[in-house]
Amino acid sequence: MATKHLSIPLFLLLIVSPLLFFSSSLPWGGDDAASWKVPLRAMDLLPLLPRRVAWPLLRSLRSAVDLLPTFVGSASSPDADLEWKGACFHKNTAWMEFHNKSKSQFGGGTLHIKVRNLDCEEEEPQFDQVKNHGVSIFLMESGMIGTLQALWDVFPLFTNTGWGESSNLAFLEKHMGATFEQRPQPWISTINVNDIHSGDFFAISKIRGRWGGFETLEKWVSGAYAGHTAVCLKDSEGKLWIGESGHENEKGEDIIVILPWEEWWEFELTKDDSNPHIALLPLHPDIRAKFNNTAAWEYAKSMSNKPYGYHNMIFSWIDTISGNYPPPLDSHVVASVMTMWNKIQPAYAANMWNEALNKRLGTEGLDLPEIIVEAEKNGTSFDELLTIPEQDDWIYSDGKSTSCVAFILELYKAAGLFDPIASSIQVTEFTIRDAYTLNFFESNSSRLPEWCNKYDDVKLPYCQIKGRYRMELPDYNSMEPYPHMNERCPSLPPYYERTSYC
The DSSP bridge pattern shows strands 254-260 and 277-281 to be unpaired
Rounded-to-integer distance, Cα 443 and Cα 283, Å: 9
Average pLDDT of the segment spanning 242-267: 94
Residues 284 and 332 in one domain: no
Last residue of a domain, one of 91, 121, 156: 156
Q: What is the SS3 assignment for 405? A: helix
Give the residue from 97, 126, 156 where a domain finishes.
156
Q: Is residue 111 part of a domain?
A: yes
Pair (291, 339) in one structural domain: no
Which is nearest to 415 in space by CA: 244, 295, 242, 299? 295
Whether residues 97 and 123 fall in one domain: yes
The helix-helix angle for 143-154 and 51-61 (nearest 10°) equals 90
One domain for residues 368 and 450: no
Is residue 405 included in any domain, yes or no?
no
Q: Tell me, yes or no, whether 477 lies in a domain.
A: no
Mean pLDDT of 80-96: 63
**pLDDT tens per residue across span 170-195:** 999 999 999 999 999 999 999 999 99
Q: Tell whether 410 is covered by a domain.
A: no
Q: Is the domain of 117 the same as that of 195?
A: no
pLDDT of residue 52: 41
Mean pLDDT for all residues in the chain: 82
Helix (H, G, I), strand (E, B) or coil at 240: strand
Q: Are residues 174 and 98 in the same domain?
A: no
Report which DSSP code applies to 352.
I
Residue 142 and residue 164 in one domain: no
In a domain, 423, yes or no: no
Contacts of 443 (CB under 8 A, 6+ apart): 284, 461, 476, 477
Choosing from 138, 156, 174, the residue where a domain stops is: 156
Q: Let me know whether 152 and 14 are in one domain.
A: yes
Domain span at 332: 320-386
Which tens digits make up the pLDDT trace of 407-425? 999 999 999 999 999 999 9
How long is the chain? 502
Do 353 and 238 sit in the same domain of this protein? no
Domain contains 473: no
In a domain, 493, yes or no: no
Q: What is the secondary structure of 121-177 as a DSSP string?
A: ---HHHHHHHHHH-EEEEE-TTHHHHHHHHHHHHGGGGSSSHHHHHHHHHHHHHHH-
Of 27-36, 114-123, 280-289, the poorest mean pLDDT is in 27-36
Around 484, how many Cα atoms within 13 Å sit in the side-chain half-sphere?
9
- The 10s digit of each residue's pLDDT in 436-480 is 999 999 988 889 999 999 999 998 999 999 999 999 999 999 999
Among 153, 487, 178, which Cα is nearest to 324's?
487
- The mean per-residue pLDDT over the stretch 238-244 comes to 98
The answer on pLDDT for 79 being more than 60 is no
Q: How many domains does the chain have?
A: 3
Q: Considering the chain, what percentage of its residues have pLDDT values greater than 90? A: 58
Non-local CB neighbours of 269 within 8 Å, separated by 6+ positions: 188, 466
| 393 assigned to some structural domain | no
Q: What pLDDT does residue 483 have?
A: 98
What pTM does this model have? 0.78
19: pLDDT confidence band, cut at 50, 70 and 90? very low
